Amino acid sequence: MSELMGSLKMISNGSVLMYILKGVGFTIGIAFFAVVLGIIIGTVLALARNYCTKGWLNIFRYIATAYIEVFRNTPLMLWIFIGLVFFPSIEFSAEFTKFFELSRTEMAVLFKAIVALVLFTSSVIAEIVRGGLNSIPKGQFEAAYSQGFNFFQTLILIVLPQTFKNIVPTLLSQVITTIKDTSYIANIAIAELMGKTFQLIQIAPRYTGFTTQNVSDVFVLCGLACVIYFAINFTLSCVVRHMQKPKKRTAPAAAN
Amino acid sequence: MGKDSKMIRLEDVHKSFGDLEVLKGINLHVKEGEKLVIIGPSGSGKSTLIRCMNYLEEPTSGKVYVHNHLMSRKRRAFINKIHSSMVFQQFNLYPHLTVLENLTLAPMKLKKISKAEAEQTAMTYLKRVGLEEKANVYPTTLSGGQQQRIAIARALTMQNRVIFFDEPTSALDPEMVQEVLDVMIELSHEKNFTMVVVTHEMGFAREVADRIVFVDGGRILEEGTPEHFFTNPENERTKAFLSKIIR
């Protein structure tokens, strides 16, 4: 019982809580960054895969298809390790890394992991966007062409706005998945919530007053991480569910 | 190109989808201000024919001229922008925009007309189709007949002189057909307005058409005035078709 009290004392320590909170910040920040970049890259990939069907443009379709299928059908963990070994190390400025309270080496490693996450996420989002594009009736293109819009105007003014409106719930589900996916980064870097949790388990004796780690440390720290992940993601999934509820029509369909 | 009054000219237009040849050499002129109605059994190629006129379908061979401009894939956007509009069987309104935005999008983006002016024009046409009170609702909240009238108003806002109607009443519930036909009949009174209509509405064809074209098997089998058509058609297939459709 005293072990548990020691563990609980640890997480009521202000600096430990702050450490965890910064991890939460990284988790959300990395996921947000990956999803935003994923939407941009994914949209380009989806457009290339769907519409580069004429002559030499087919090259882009093949590239996009290969990219999507490779990253979507292989585990993220694999790409994080491949990234760690093969991706180039970026030299970040000292001020930049200081802002994130990381060393320059840590920052370089974290960056590789984020690149892997972006590659993976963008391939998944590309298929979500493509599903959205395919759900737009052909008639929308035809209406636009008959009015004199060209292909790009049609995409930007008519097709993509409808596509994104339709896929918002699916994209939010992907945000949830990506938030959970950030935990893979704990394997190579200490920055986000899972990494910080592992780190705290390692150094628990400094705070609990015991000389060794206890099972209760794992129970309490992982329990806390669990509660935090759940709180964030459950909130998001409630939002998704709310959005998917069939909307009541503001104006009843007048049949005259 | 000459100074003829041919608004639309199709020269030996062929169109195949894979192995299926849908149009087998169409020659057709539409004069400025003419109200042309295209009829024919389903699968005859009449929809493909009208869709070749604004290059929603690119002919496999043959030439399409709109107001003496030779149509091509590259020039489609430009020519459609300044010469023609289309009304579709499935309305094809933009569901993410309000009715008013549906009507102002193309004039603002393509003709660089100011928002105020575009909205003013849009309201004029909405009034003309009797739906000015629906300006700020989304199209999906409207009935089929209302949506099609909005689609007609949208086609008018570009202020082009040719409007193509591709079976505008075929997807409507029977009680909504007349409200759409009424709008089209009212439009047909404008002398300088060219209308090409694919339809099964024989009453409408009889009342509005200057000329009727009967298409079957990808060919024009007979053309003439409504009077000719409905009193003494010559072609056997035309006779058979009309006897089935008019009861």
pLDDT in tens, A26-85: 999 999 999 999 999 999 999 999 999 989 999 999 999 999 999 999 999 999 999 999
| Three-state secondary-structure class, residue B211 | strand
* pLDDT (tens digit per residue) in B195-231: 999 999 999 999 999 999 999 999 999 999 999 988 8
State whether residue B117 is helix, strand or coil.
helix
How many Cβ atoms sit within 10 Å of the Cβ of residue B195?
Answer: 23
Tens-digit pLDDT profile for residues B111-126: 999 999 999 999 999 9
Q: In terms of C-beta distances under 8 Å and separation of at least 24 residues, what long-range contacts does B146-150 make, across chains too?
A: B146/A254, B146/A256, B147/B91, B147/B93, B148/B87, B148/B91, B148/B172, B148/B176, B148/B180, B149/B179, B149/B180, B149/B183, B150/B91, B150/B93, B150/B99, B150/B102, B150/B103, B150/B126
Q: What pLDDT is attached to residue A214? A: 86
Average pLDDT over residues A126-143: 97
pLDDT class of A247 with cuts at 50, 70, 90 = low
B75 close to A (CB below 8 A):
no
Is residue B117 a contact partner of residue B194, using CB atoms and an 8 Å limit? no
Nearest-angstrom CA–CA distance, B160 and A248: 38
Strand ranges (DSSP E) for B54-172?
61-66, 69-70, 84-87, 162-166
Cα–Cα dist B244/B227, whole Å: 18
Q: Is the pLDDT of residue A249 over 90?
A: no
> Is the CB of B158 inside 8 Å of chain A's CB atoms?
yes
Residues A82-113 have pLDDT tens digits of 999 999 988 888 888 888 888 888 899 999 99
The domain ranges of chain A are: 2-244
Residue B47 has pLDDT above 80, yes or no: yes
Residues of A with Cβ-Cβ distance to B81 under 8 angstroms: 147-148
Beta bridge partners of residue B223, listed in sequence order:
B213
> Is 60 exceeded by the pLDDT of residue B166?
yes
ipTM of the prediction greater than 0.90, yes or no: yes
- pLDDT of A248 reads 53
Residues of B in contact with A146 (CB under 8 A): 54, 56, 80, 84-86, 88, 164
Q: Are A143 and B143 in contact (CB < 8 Å)?
A: no
Percent of chain B with pLDDT over 90: 87
Give how far Cα B40 sits from Cα of A46, A105, B92, Å.
40, 75, 23
Instruction: With cut-offs at 50, 70 and 90, classify the pLDDT of residue B43.
Output: confident
Q: Which residue of B has its CA nearest to A250?
A: B141
Q: How far away is chain A from the Cα of B155, in angstroms, using its nearest Cα? A: 8
| Residue of chain A whose Cα is closest to the Cα of B102 | A158
Chain A: residue nearest B178 by CA? A256
User: Given a cut of 90, is residue A7 above it in pLDDT?
Assistant: no
The distance of B218 to chain A (nearest Cα, Å) reads: 22
pTM over 0.90, yes/no: no
Q: Enter the CATH code of domain A2-244.
A: 1.10.3720.10
Helix B144-157 with B115-128: angle, nearest 10 deg = 130
- Asked if B52 reaches chain A (Cβ–Cβ under 8 Å), the answer is no
A249 to chain B, closest Cα gap in Å: 8
Query: Which whole-number Å values give the CA distances from B111 to A144, B103, B104, B105, B246, in the listed order?
Result: 14, 13, 10, 10, 44
Q: What is the pLDDT of residues B84-97, one digit of tens each?
A: 999 999 999 999 99
Q: Name the residue among A139, A250, A252 with its Cβ closest to that of B90.
A: A139
Say whether pLDDT at B142 is over 80.
Answer: yes
pLDDT at A38: 97
Evaluate whether A143 touches B94 at the Cβ level (below 8 Å). Answer: yes
